[in-house]
Structure 1
Amino acid sequence: MNATINHADLLRLRMRAQGLAGSGAGSSAASATKSGSSRLSGPEKIAATASRMLAMQGQDWRSSRWALGVRTPGTTVADVYAAFNEALVVRSWPMRGTIHVVAAEDIGWMQSLTNHRVLAGAPKRRAFLGITDSLLDRLTETSLAALANGRSLDRDELSAVWTEASIEWQSAWRYHMIWWLCQNGLTVFGPQLGDSEPRLVLAEGWIRNPRSLSGEEALAELTTRYAAARGPIRRKDLAWWSGLTLRETDRGLALATEAGRLVPVSLADDADTLWVEPELLESVGQASTTAGWHLLPAFDEHLLGYTNRDAQLSPEHFERIVPGKNGMFLATVVNSGRVVGTWKRGAGKKGPVNLTPFPGERVKPDAVRPEFERWAGFYGFDDIPLSLADPHSKHPVG
């Protein structure tokens, strides 16, 4: 018979798994122990967080930097940059056709496991864009030649190479071609200059120690590590997050359960079975570890890691996080694991950070300030004002 957890347990376990337990604590004690973080350099700590999370939303480059930092206490944005420049982490498309930040060693086996679904629709997309097979070959060969011998390119530089090669390309082609090169494991976004996005490089040579996993071994690894970094998860969470079929999802859960790497649990008043890492489940009944405030970035895994987010966010507030349901998740103010508002930095070097609580929620700047200062310290910002906005207005009130 499955163990039973309540809804408070679910939230606590998810926060611990996410590395968000405690007020401004970043990585939980358990994850710090696993990564041996006390012995690691700053960039290595960032890479350990990326590895523990398996893959983190990366379409918004600025947000993904703090997603790493908030889970890695004592690091700065310079450590994130160094982790990229030291080839410890990369930015690419591991699954679902969505760009993520991934530990460099993991990107290859993840793509091998998930590519059969995302690549299947590529020919139809190229037909719509007008990219013939011969053009695809020429664009690919030209791109790879330009990246040879350790060279890196940003997006504009890559398309300039096509122009120099007398290829009459169209603007809509660039995203598809970069995706195609990365999705096939030919390239990744690796080195980073200034505060700009990482630059495109050849995967071979940049990734020094790729892991080699395939078949059921890879399926069990993805299933286990996804659940270990998200807390109790549902079958449909895994299927959506990974982009795998329900049949593959069920097999992954069965493999992980048979190996003792995950255990099924029941949620009170809920018919769904959830799966959780046994070590994490042992923390049920311990003192609450969700207390405290967090300023989480846009597109954070705290919400995007699941299909059912009710534990973290009241459904009636969903449109305040994703205005117009346009897929653009805003940065969130979180108290004791629950989303209670949004936050945004104003324009300019000294632009204020404005907190906008949900109606009926109380957000006090003094309570948020320690986490705000941790965010500012991560980026090296000085004298940034912190303001509270009226939830019924777009204007800050103090």
Structure 2
Amino acid sequence: MAVIDLPVDRVLAWRATRQLLDRPAGAETDTVVGRLVGVQAQLASAAAQAVAARQPTSQRGTTAAALAAGALAKTWAMRGTLHLLRTVDAPSCLSLLAAGRFWEKGSWQRSFVTVGQLDAIAEAAVSALDGRILGREQLTAEIVARTGDATLAGHLTSGWGAVLKPLAWQGLLVHGPADGNRVTFTRPDTLLPDWPGLPDPDTAADRVVPAYLGAYGPADAETFDQWLSRGGWKRPMLRGWFRRLVEAGELVEVTVDGRPAYARAGDVEEIAAAEPTDEVRLLPAFDQWVLGPGTKDPTVVPPARRSDVSRAAGWIAPVVVHRGRVVGTWEARDGEPEVTLWPESPPVPAERLDAERERLRSYLKGVGDA
């Protein structure tokens, strides 16, 4: 069977619809987070805005409400960064990360703690968090007391949470309800009564790979791995997931402007028929439109402008998107979105940009928590 070649403009048009950038009716908060296979939440306000940018009417407070209702979980997930995940999706995403056993690498142990120490931390944390919600300092004190290892305190109080991330990936710990500016932690089965535990990695891959391609595809296995773990997975296992899904008929091999990729079998006709529009979107910092394919994807971020988007200390700038491509950046100053369009980019329809700026202005000046 001949491999179908899909034009990149149609791919981007299809992705925009799949990522709900057309703002359809019924785009509830958990629906948006699920479709995107998680929303990066290092910055809570950016995560809330990423959801609002995909809803017919942008509102504040919806992500906080979904967290409080147990529809979403907040935990360290893809690429070791804090994410909002739909509760029903979190076990599969975490299973793939846990199966990588990244904390067993010598370089990780030399920088942080040994595997033996981490096992002791995990055992102590599971006991300490049973039916309880603890702040970082409280959890640190409990773990140090239970392990008898005072050297762990410095690692546990680090704001980066390096030694707690493996616990999150193993489904032993999630972020608890916000307590002002204080971070809290608890066990998933304490916060989420229906928590099922983690599936085996192959079962998880059968769920997560198609979900990823349903929002960011077509894509190759290496792009998926960059999104999942910054390229940490062993290639044979990674490619085996894709090969098994192809053999099952769920995925097909395609090309995008000649570049090999995979797509969900049921999506190919829709992608080929997708029509680009002139819609303009102002998307927040760390938006999944950029993070899903990665800032190195030249079809989304022009290579000459990558440093304008991917900045120092891991900051991903708020972006202006037209016809699926990043054409500039913006920043908020006193509730006013100030837009910088790149002069080399194709013309952006002024009236559509003005309408998007007005929508964002209303959101930024809104009342209530993000």
TM, length-normalised to structure 2: 0.82
Structure 1 residue 148 and structure 2 residue 130: aligned? yes
Structure 1 residue 251 and structure 2 residue 234: aligned? no
1:318 corresponds in structure 2 to 306
CA distances 1:174-223 after superposition (whole Å, capped 9, x unpaired): 323432331221111243456x5874221113233345632433222121
Aligned counterparts of 1:282 and 1:147: Cα–Cα separation in 2? 49
Q: How does 1:253-292 map to 2 (within 5 A)?
A: 253-268=242-257, 270=258, 272-284=259-271, 286=273, 288-292=275-279
Structure 1 residue 93 and structure 2 residue 94: aligned? no
Aligned counterparts of 1:245 and 1:320: Cα–Cα separation in 2? 31
RMSD: 3.2
1:391 corresponds in structure 2 to none
Aligned counterparts of 1:131 and 1:284: Cα–Cα separation in 2? 47
Residues 344 and 354 in structure 1, CA contact (< 8 A), matched pair in contact too = yes
190 and 2 in structure 1: CA distance in 2 versus 1, 3 angstrom threshold: farther
In the alignment, residue 309 of structure 2 is paired with which amino acid? Answer: I
2:173 corresponds in structure 1 to 187
The farther-off stretch of 333-342 and 68-77 is 68-77
2:194 corresponds in structure 1 to 209
1:306 corresponds in structure 2 to 293
Aligned counterparts of 1:161 and 1:380: Cα–Cα separation in 2? 42
> Structure 2: any 5+ residue segments left out of the alignment?
none
Match of 2:210 among 219, 224, 228: 224
Residues 233 and 275 in structure 1, CA contact (< 8 A), matched pair in contact too = yes
Match of 1:103 among 61, 79, 86: 86
2:3 corresponds in structure 1 to 2
- C-alpha deviation, 1:123, in angstroms: 6.8
299 and 368 in structure 1: CA distance in 2 versus 1, 3 angstrom threshold: same
- C-alpha deviation, 1:89, in angstroms: 1.0
1:335 corresponds in structure 2 to 322
Residues 337 and 361 in structure 2, CA contact (< 8 A), matched pair in contact too = no
Aligned counterparts of 1:374 and 1:220: Cα–Cα separation in 2? 38
Secondary structure, aligned partner of 1:71:
coil
274 and 147 in structure 1: CA distance in 2 versus 1, 3 angstrom threshold: same
- C-alpha deviation, 1:274, in angstroms: 1.5
In the alignment, residue 261 of structure 2 is paired with which amino acid? Answer: L
Residues 9 and 276 in structure 2, CA contact (< 8 A), matched pair in contact too = no
Secondary structure, aligned partner of 2:331:
strand
TM, length-normalised to structure 1: 0.76
CA distances 1:138-189 after superposition (whole Å, capped 9, x unpaired): x55664455333x323445544666898956554433234323312211112
Q: How does 1:1-398 map to 2 (within 5 A)?
A: 1-20=2-21, 25-27=22-24, 37=26, 45-74=28-57, 76-121=59-104, 125-129=108-112, 133=116, 137=120, 140=122, 143-149=125-131, 151-156=132-137, 158-159=139-140, 167=150, 170-174=153-157, 175-192=161-178, 199-210=184-195, 213-243=199-229, 244-268=233-257, 270=258, 272-284=259-271, 286=273, 288-307=275-294, 308-323=296-311, 326-346=313-333, 350-361=334-345, 367-378=352-363, 381=366
Residues 48 and 62 in structure 2, CA contact (< 8 A), matched pair in contact too = no
In the alignment, residue 16 of structure 1 is paired with which amino acid? Answer: T
146 and 316 in structure 1: CA distance in 2 versus 1, 3 angstrom threshold: same
Q: Percent identity?
A: 22
98 and 248 in structure 1: CA distance in 2 versus 1, 3 angstrom threshold: farther
In the alignment, residue 254 of structure 1 is paired with which amino acid? Answer: R
- C-alpha deviation, 1:371, in angstroms: 2.3
Residues 147 and 201 in structure 1, CA contact (< 8 A), matched pair in contact too = yes
156 and 64 in structure 1: CA distance in 2 versus 1, 3 angstrom threshold: farther
Residues 16 and 231 in structure 1, CA contact (< 8 A), matched pair in contact too = no
Residues 310 and 317 in structure 2, CA contact (< 8 A), matched pair in contact too = yes
Aligned counterparts of 2:128 and 2:104: Cα–Cα separation in 1? 27
Residues 329 and 341 in structure 2, CA contact (< 8 A), matched pair in contact too = yes
168 and 253 in structure 1: CA distance in 2 versus 1, 3 angstrom threshold: closer
Q: Runs (4+) of structure 1 moved beyond 6 Å?
A: 162-166
Aligned counterparts of 2:357 and 2:110: Cα–Cα separation in 1? 48
The farther-off stretch of 214-223 and 170-179 is 170-179
The farther-off stretch of 332-341 and 360-369 is 360-369
Residues 13 and 232 in structure 1, CA contact (< 8 A), matched pair in contact too = no
